[in-house]
Amino acid sequence: MSDSKTRDWLEAHRDYAHEDRCLIWPFTRDRRDGRGRTSLDGERRAHPIMCKMVNGPPPADKPQAAHSCGNGHLGCVNPRHLSWANNSENQHQRYAHGRANSHTQGSRSQFTPEQIETIRSQWGEFTQERLAEMYGVSISTIQYYLNDREKRGHDGVKHWSSDDDDQLRQGVAEGLSLNQLAALVGRSRKATEHRVYRIGLTSGQRPTPKKERGLSEEAGGRT
């Protein structure tokens, strides 16, 4: 991503008016900690640049750009959430938000419902690969959120849809492994294995339930 494009985006959002929501960095994010990445003004992170735009240069005794929202790990660069702080103040905010020494980046539990809707609204404008890069997560995590709304019924159970089955058929035709098929439809390996059998995509036997498998092994041990 060019420096001019990222600078233009920052300038366009320096007066972002919504204090009650995070403004997520739409470009590259660090896969380790989720923060926005850039190369502007000798900085590697986007949020200090935004903080400098709205609050001026950092004071000598407060060199760190701190998030009042606690969502720096999600790529927030909302200018209303940023202020200069010293290390003690910054760490205090992280503890207050439960972020100290956290290493949960890339997990499916890190996004709020609002952020999930943002991801879904950006699909089409960006590819799944690009969304994964932007949010610092795996492609399978992005696929999980994109597919989850269509699969989950009113009873909260994720039902198999005709689109799921079509994806499985196409994946099998392309020679995808079971793990790859599971990632494709955002399901567990076991659930995918049963579905593949159920819709006739395998010539093998029905996956053996754990209880039956244990009995078979026990019987085999006695022969």
Tell me what pLDDT residue 110 has. 59
- Mean per-residue pLDDT over the chain, rounded: 76
pLDDT at 37 over 50: yes
Structure confidence by residue, pLDDT tens digits, 51-97: 999 999 998 888 889 999 888 888 999 999 999 988 778 777 766 66
Residue 196 near residue 181, CB atoms below 8 Å:
yes
- Higher local confidence (pLDDT), 92 or 169: 169
- Higher local confidence (pLDDT), 193 or 210: 193
Residues in contact with 159: Cβ distance below 8 Å, sequence separation at least 6, in sequence order: 151, 152, 153
What's 209's DSSP letter?
Answer: P
How far apart are the C-alpha atoms of 182 and 201, rounded to whole Å? 14
Tell me what pLDDT residue 102 has. 42
Residue 66: its H or E element: strand 64-67
Residues in contact with 184: Cβ distance below 8 Å, sequence separation at least 6, in sequence order: 143, 167, 168, 171, 176
How far apart are the C-alpha atoms of 136 and 35, rounded to whole Å? 8
Sign, Cα dihedral of 23, 26, 27, 28: positive
Size of the chain, expressed as the number of residues it contains:
223
Tell me what pLDDT residue 15 has. 94
Mean pLDDT of 152-163: 59
Structure confidence by residue, pLDDT tens digits, 101-151: 443 444 454 566 666 777 777 777 778 887 777 766 777 778 777 776 544
pLDDT at 12 over 70: yes
Tell me what pLDDT residue 158 has. 60
Residues in contact with 147: Cβ distance below 8 Å, sequence separation at least 6, in sequence order: 164, 185, 186
- Tally Cβ neighbours within 10 Å of residue 23: 19
Structure confidence by residue, pLDDT tens digits, 172-205: 888 888 888 887 877 778 788 888 888 888 644 4
Tell me what pLDDT residue 14 has. 93
Tell me what pLDDT residue 129 has. 81
Tell me what pLDDT residue 111 has. 64
- Higher local confidence (pLDDT), 212 or 86: 86
What's 80's DSSP letter?
Answer: G
Tell me what pLDDT residue 215 has. 39
pLDDT at 208 over 50: no
